[in-house]
Structure 1
Amino acid sequence: MKGRIAALVMCALLVLYLVLVGQRAVLFMAAGEPIAVVIGVALLVLPIIGVAVLLFEIRFGILTERMVKQLEAEGALPVDDLPRRPSGRYERESADAAFPAYAAAARAAPDDWRAWFRLGLAYDACGDRRRARGAIRRSFGLRRRASA
């Protein structure tokens, strides 16, 4: 629940920032001078990119949450029994030791979205966020194809 509240606060702050930047962009363009208009247009591009990224991240979070709930209902969610540091992050050595089993399961069933999702969770536990997101994105596509 803390994560969801933090995400909502960050979304609200980003929206506030985007509104303020958008207002400044309009003021620059209203000035009528060529350089000010160019700056205004450039400032309008930033909020558009920001909104697109925000929507993409919200969609990623919603899909991830749905998949976690489905795996939990199926009893296929991995047991979260790895030791943690006081900060709440997994101890790297124990996460690294558990990782090969998840990688082998994904290699053995390359079309199973569940195996790829669990691999994404294992990557995240090991601290490799880029690969974690890649594996989870791959599980999105596999799940979509499986349900079609």
Structure 2
Amino acid sequence: MRGRIAAVVMSVLLVVYIALVVQKAVLFVVSGEPVAVVLGIALFVLPAIGVFALVAEVRFGLRTQAMVRQLEAEGELPVDDVPRRASGRYERDAADAAFPAYKSAVEQAPDDWRAWFRLGLAYDACGDRRRARQALRWSIRLRRESATAS
């Protein structure tokens, strides 16, 4: 729940920031001064990048949450029995020990979005956020493809 609240707070702050930057950009463009106009046009690029990033992250979060709900409803959500530290992070050695089973499941069924999703969770538990996001994105893609094929 704290993660969702943090995401909402960060999204609201980003929207406020984007609004302020757009306001300044408009003021620069309307000033008519050549340097200010160029600067104002350049400032429009930053909010565009911010909006793109915000939309992409929200879509990623919503899709992964939908996948969690589906796996939970199917009874296929992996059991979270890896010990955690006081900080809430997984104990690295225990997460590393559980990882090979998830990697093997993907190797046996490379087109199964559920296996890729579980592998993404395993990567996350091992602290490899980059690979976790890659596996989750691949899982989202496979799930979408399987839904369109049905």
* Pairwise TM-score range, normalised by the shorter structure: over 0.9
Name the structure 1 match of 2:38.
38
Instruction: Give deviations 1:92-142, integer Å, cap 9, x for gaps.
Output: 111111111101100110000000000000000011111101000101111
Give 1:147 deviation, angstroms. Answer: 1.2
Q: How does 1:85-124 map to 2 (within 5 A)?
A: 85-124=85-124
After superposition, the CA RMSD in angstroms is 0.7
Name the structure 1 match of 2:18.
18
The TM-score, its normalising length taken from structure 2, stands at 0.97
Give 1:6 deviation, angstroms. Answer: 1.1
Structure 1 segments of 4+ aligned residues over 2 angstroms from their partners: none
Letter matched to residue 98 of structure 1: A
Give 1:14 deviation, angstroms. Answer: 0.5
Name the structure 2 match of 1:50.
50
Unaligned runs of 5+ in 1: none
Q: CA separation in 2, counterparts of 1:45 and 1:83? A: 45
Name the structure 2 match of 1:72.
72
Instruction: Give deviations 1:5-33, integer Å, cap 9, x for gaps.
Output: 11111100000000001111111111111
Letter matched to residue 140 of structure 1: I
Q: CA separation in 1, counterparts of 2:98 and 2:65? A: 23
* Aligned residues between the structures: 148
Q: CA separation in 2, counterparts of 1:29 and 1:147? A: 47
The TM-score, its normalising length taken from structure 1, stands at 0.98
Q: CA separation in 2, counterparts of 1:136 and 1:46? A: 27
Name the structure 2 match of 1:82.
82
